[in-house]
């Protein structure tokens, strides 16, 4: 597995490194881990005041400040990593390097919170999402899990994006632990809007309670049934979770209640200038939940 971890020496990027270090099941897979530090270029006026050698030494010193703690974390866990330092725009450099190395996963720690400010995971993370289709795991400011086998939620909706999320999780199960527990989650409509006026003009339910239940069962089956054979093929029995209501709100609440370690979602959102880079449901979850999000864009 090829894993790219952008680091800047902050506690947030150290958390991303620590997450990989906690994944002992990956050791046997001999993962290719790359630590990438991107230095913003000095202003032209400032760079003209120093020699090229002095400028190069400056960038090296700054990169070493980021590499040193990350190197220590990985060494303790018996992981080796390639260290790469570049100068440029952080988001562009991360996206370009992920594509160049054909990465299977980018892991980023971030403390961005406000959806209203467009900084769900921080401006760099959001920009990376807009510029690459490489799967991206966003950890926020949460420390690495202490357990080896994680509780993993996978949101599906009957589309190819949900199916791709399942395929990715099962292909890279070592990332979650070989005994990881999976929750396959789908949110169905409550059909609260299904009403019809009576002779007096009052809104009455157009569907009986039993009819609503049957519709919800059908909707749930259409979303879940296509992915169950994928789990059966690898001998895993997931927990099938049917939620009712707004997908973003309900999935976020479920993750919190069940204390899931990570939520995997497929997304087809595009566009750096759109508020919903990840798609509306993922964006909603990102704005109200603390659960680490693994977004599958391919």
Return the bridge partners of 38, or none.
86
> Angle 6-10-12 (CA atoms, 0-180°, nearest 5)?
70
Who's near 4: CB < 8 A, 6+ residues apart? 34, 36, 94, 97, 98, 101, 103, 105, 106, 107, 134
Which has more pLDDT, 227 or 111?
Answer: 227
**Contact indicator for 188, 219 with CB cutoff of 8 Å:** yes
Question: What secondary structure letter does DSSP report for 297?
Answer: -
Q: What is the token pair recorded at 196?
A: 């019809």
Beta bridge partners of 35: 5, 83
Helix (H) or strand (E) run with residue 70 in it = helix 52-76
CA-based nearest residue to 24, from 146, 148, 179, 139: 148
Q: Say what the pLDDT of residue 130 is.
A: 82
Those residues whose C-beta lies under 8 Å from the C-beta of residue 143, and which sit 6 or more positions away, are 15, 18
**pLDDT at 223 > cutoff 80:** yes
Q: What is the mean pLDDT of residues 162-171?
A: 96
Closest CA to 238 of 173, 142, 295, 158: 173
248-296 pLDDT per residue, tens: 999 999 999 999 999 999 986 544 434 445 667 887 888 788 899 999 9
Q: Is the pLDDT of residue 92 over 70?
A: yes
pTM greater than 0.95: no
Q: What is the pLDDT of residues 8-43, one digit of tens each?
A: 988 889 999 999 999 988 877 889 999 999 988 877
CA atoms of 102 and 212, how far apart (whole Å): 46
Residue 94: pLDDT band by 50, 70, 90 thresholds? Answer: very high
Contacts of 150 (CB under 8 A, 6+ apart): 176, 177, 180, 181, 261, 262
pLDDT at 121: 52
* Reduced DSSP (H G I as helix, E B as strand, rest coil) percent helix, strand, coil of the chain, to 5: 40, 20, 40
CA distance 184 to 198: 40
The token duo for 208 is: 């009986």
At a CB cut-off of 8 Å and minimum separation 6, what does 215 contact? Answer: 189, 191, 207
More confident of the two residues 94 and 286: 94
**Domains defined along the chain, listed by start:** 1-141 (3.40.50.620), 145-298 (3.40.50.620)
């Amino acid at each position: 597995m090829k894993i790219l971890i952008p680091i800047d020496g902050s506690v947030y990027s150290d958390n991303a490194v620590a997450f990989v270090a906690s994944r002992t099941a990956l050791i046997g897979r001999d993962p290719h881990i790359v630590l990438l530090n991107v230095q913003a270029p000095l202003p032209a006026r400032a760079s003209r005041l120093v020699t090229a050698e002095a400028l190069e030494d400056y960038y090296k010193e700054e990169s070493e400040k980021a590499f040193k703690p990350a190197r220590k974390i990985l060494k303790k866990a018996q992981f080796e990593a390639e260290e790469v330092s570049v100068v440029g725009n952080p988001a562009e450099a991360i996206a370009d390097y992920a594509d160049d190395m054909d990465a299977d996963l980018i892991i980023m720690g971030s403390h961005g919170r406000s959806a209203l400010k467009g900084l769900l995971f921080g401006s760099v993370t959001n920009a990376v999402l807009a510029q690459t289709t490489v799967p991206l795991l966003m950890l926020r400011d949460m420390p690495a899990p202490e357990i080896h086998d994680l509780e993993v939620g996978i949101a599906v909706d009957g589309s190819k994006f949900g199916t791709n999320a399942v395929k990715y999780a099962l292909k890279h199960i070592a990332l979650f632990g070989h005994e990881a527990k999976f929750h396959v989650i789908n949110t169905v409509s409550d059909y609260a809007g299904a009403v019809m006026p009576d002779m007096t003009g009052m809104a009455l339910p157009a569907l009986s309670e039993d009819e609503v239940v049957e519709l919800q069962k059908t909707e749930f089956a259409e979303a879940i049934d296509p992915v169950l054979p994928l789990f059966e093929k690898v001998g895993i029995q997931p927990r099938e979770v049917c939620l009712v209501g707004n997908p973003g709100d309900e999935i976020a609440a479920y993750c919190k209640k069940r204390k899931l370690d990570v939520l995997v979602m497929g997304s087809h959102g595009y566009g750096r200038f759109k508020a919903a880079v990840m798609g509306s449901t993922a964006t909603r979850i990102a704005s109200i939940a603390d659960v680490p999000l693994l977004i599958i864009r391919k």
